[in-house]
Structure 1
Amino acid sequence: MELLSVRPTVKTPARAFTGDVYMTPVYTGTGPSRMTAALVRFTPGAHTNWHSHAVGQTLHVTEGVGLVGIRDGSVLRIHAGETVVCPPGEEHWHGAAADTFMSHLAMLEAEPGGGDPTTWLEPVADEQYERANKESAS
């Protein structure tokens, strides 16, 4: 058994996020574990760029209301206590709704052999985020 100390919270890089987003690492696996977990806090309206994960990603909402969108235009409005499973390779984005904070645990695995498990893509267009926020609220 091992007790891990609380790790410092960092502001996420603007090259991959719109708005103010803060991340606190929870766990980074060491062989044979490849799991990574982080608590990610989004201010109202903040969200990720489009991205995908080689081995998928699981998001568990701990607070607030958020959105998860995929390329076909589908958007889920997510709430505290809910979990979203994004399959391997699926291009998606996620973040807070326009008028509330949202926090989630982001859990994913690295590929065997290491490397970055996330492929970052372009920002979500403002119009697309606004439409997703509006349509998912009704």
Structure 2
Amino acid sequence: MRAIRRRADASQRELARWAGVHHGTVGRIEAGVLTPSIALLRRIIAVAGFQLAVVDGSGRVLTPMRDSDDTRDGAGRRYPSHLDTILDPEPGEWWADVYGLARPPETFYRNRAVRDAMRRRSQWEVRVAKYRNVPPPPRVVRPQW
């Protein structure tokens, strides 16, 4: 909070007034006595011209996922964001194929190890320049459920 105020060249009272909060709120946040909600923190830093961002361990900004019509099921619900969606699955890509059940229009890879291995292989194949001198990850054999 102090760094934000310094960059905005604002006192606690000025920053609080701009954000529409009591000046004591800014002081308590700076002192570590008050942990602000995300909404309050966004409001305070926005008046100083900043915004929140989520970064990974390497400092890369995590961008929001795009939401399009093909990322929703027939009832309009979003697919689980942590699973790789398989639209129009091939035989063997759905866990219930072995039971002879009707194949749905979409399914997911639920096995985390398989998903992670597939992502590593895909990144290696797509980001050629980055992985030019890196040996390829093993090919992923999809399990037959």
Considering the TM-score relative to the shorter chain, is it more than 0.5? no
Structure with higher strand content: 1
TM-score (structure 1 length as normaliser): 0.23
Larger radius of gyration: 2
Higher share of residues assigned helix: 2
More contact order relative to length (CA 8 Å, sep ≥ 6) = 1
TM-score by length of 2: 0.22
